[in-house]
Every structure is written in C-alpha cells, then in structure tokens.
Amino acid sequence: MIEICALASGSNGNSYYVGNGEEAILVDAGISTKQLLLRMKSRGLDPGRIRAVFLSHEHSDHARGIQVLSKRQAVNIWMSKRTWGSLPVYFRPPYVKFFTPGETVTIGTFRVHTFLKNHDAAEPCSFRISHGDKSVGVFTDIGAPCDRVKNALQECQAAFMESNYDEKMLWEGPYPWPLKQRVASDVGHLSNLQALQLVQEYAHPHLECLFLSHLSQENNTPAMAWSAFEPLHSRMEVKLTSRHEASEVYRLE
C-alpha cells in the first residue's frame, strides 16, 4: 500500500508525501516546517515516519523549509551536487546526502528513481518512487516533456503532474513580457494543455490517480485546470492540490 498526499502545491510552495504507513519520503519542502508538520498531522500523517526528503531543485518554492525540517526531524535531505552548489547558504540543511541524476536510491522499502528534467535551475530532477510493484511520480517544474519523464510516467499508477498555467490567462495576464516567456519556455512550466497531452499520450493504462499540481496563482484557476482534464475524468481519478492546505490522502492498494 502506498499513501500519497500533496502537503503544499503551487507556485509559492511545494511538498509531496509518499508513504507506506510506516515510512515516508517527502519530495521538496517549500513551506515552513511549522506549516508542513501541521498539515501532515491534519491528514493523520506522522512526521516521525519521514526517512528522507528529496529536493528537486534549489528554487525557494521547493527549498524554503529544508534547513529547519532537516534540523528538527534529524532527517537527510537528498539532492544533486550541483543543486547543493546553487543552494543559498540560508537554505542549506545540516544533514545532506547526494545522488547523481539517473541514480536509484534505496530508502527503507522504497526505491527513488532520480532523473533530470527541463527547468531553469542548476541540475533539476524529477522522481519516480516505487514500493513493491507500484510507482508514484512527482513531475513538476517541467518546461518541456523529455523522454525521461515520458518513460517514468509509463511506469506510474499515480502521479503529481504539473498543470501550471492556462495559455490564454498567461498571455493576457499581468506578468511582464520576459516572465511570460520564461514560464512558457522549454525550461519553465507545463500548461494545462501540455500536461493533458503528456498524460494522454504516455500514461500507463493502470494510472489510476492524477493530482494536478503546481498551479499558478496568477495564470490558472483550479476550475480551469480541472476542466482542462475533462477528457481523462472517466479514465482515472483527477484531483486538485492546493497552496493553502494538504490534499486528501490517496491510497494505492
């Protein structure tokens, strides 16, 4: 059994929980530790189960909480060496371990498959976390889908999938022109439509649950992301995530 939950998701803070009832892995800790622990408890998830935190890249919406969380829970933060090199000193955790992108790391009964993604950070990575014969993908902050993410998606029964912006809202919205270009570029973020196409083309037939993740506050709404995925509603559970509270806990049996 795998339990998954988006503790925080959006352009201003991300943290994703993957556990098996006894041990858990977090991907990113981009909110305060106080908030993160409160949100875990609000969903009945015991912070004492956290065995490792994997950091996808150094941007503050993913790294803001890692220093305090590492200290408070005495937990290792795993990251690539170039991510460490680009991490501001005030985010650097006391307990750190390194992986080489492409490496699979074993944490208890979990295997964490790490791979590079297209995003404007030093050495940004996505993760597929497997336990037994099930896999969960954490796929956010992707400018353009590469073969690595397509292959990983084909292995997943559940995934946190970036659905960052609605194209019309982005181009007609308040962002300055260079920022619009950055978001839409191959090293920015996936739009609702790009994410839908990725899932439609590459999802495993047994993908049963998709959490729409990392929604932009300015350039998307939960309702728009939700309706963009209408074509998949009959095929799988499509769920929304929030910047304000933890999502429901979904169980892969």
The count of other CB atoms within 10 Å of the CB of residue 220 is: 26
Smallest distance, Zn ion to C-beta of residue 21, A? 29
186/201 with CB nearer Zn ion: 186
Q: Which span sits near Zn ion by CB under 5 A: 2-10, 41-49, 70-78, 139-147?
A: 139-147
Quote the CA–CA distance of 82 and 121 in Å, as a whole number: 9
Q: β-strand 237-240 against 250-252: which pairing, if any?
A: unpaired
118: nearest Cα among 138, 99, 141 = 141
Q: Is 58 in the site for Zn ion (CB under 5 A)?
A: no
Give 113's strand partners: 104, 128
Smallest distance, Zn ion to C-beta of residue 47, A? 23
Size of the site for Zn ion (CB under 5 A): 3
The interface with Zn ion within residues 61-80 (CB under 5 A) comprises 61
Q: Is 123 in the site for Zn ion (CB under 5 A)?
A: no
DSSP 167-209: HHHHHHSSS-HHHHHHHHSTTS--BHHHHHHHHHHH--TT--E
Smallest distance, Zn ion to C-beta of residue 57, A? 6
Q: Is 59 in the site for Zn ion (CB under 5 A)?
A: yes
Is the four-CA dihedral 156, 10, 84, 123 of positive or negative sign?
positive
18/236 with CB nearer Zn ion: 18
Smallest distance, Zn ion to C-beta of residue 92, A? 18
Give residue 9's identity as a one-letter amino acid code.
S
Rule CB under 5 A: choose which of 28, 58, 123, 141 binds Zn ion.
Answer: 141
Residues 36 and 7: beta-carbon distance below 8 Å: yes
Smallest distance, Zn ion to C-beta of residue 243, A? 11
222/231 with CB nearer Zn ion: 222
Smallest distance, Zn ion to C-beta of residue 14, A? 6
List interacting residues with Zn ion (CB under 5 A).
59, 61, 141
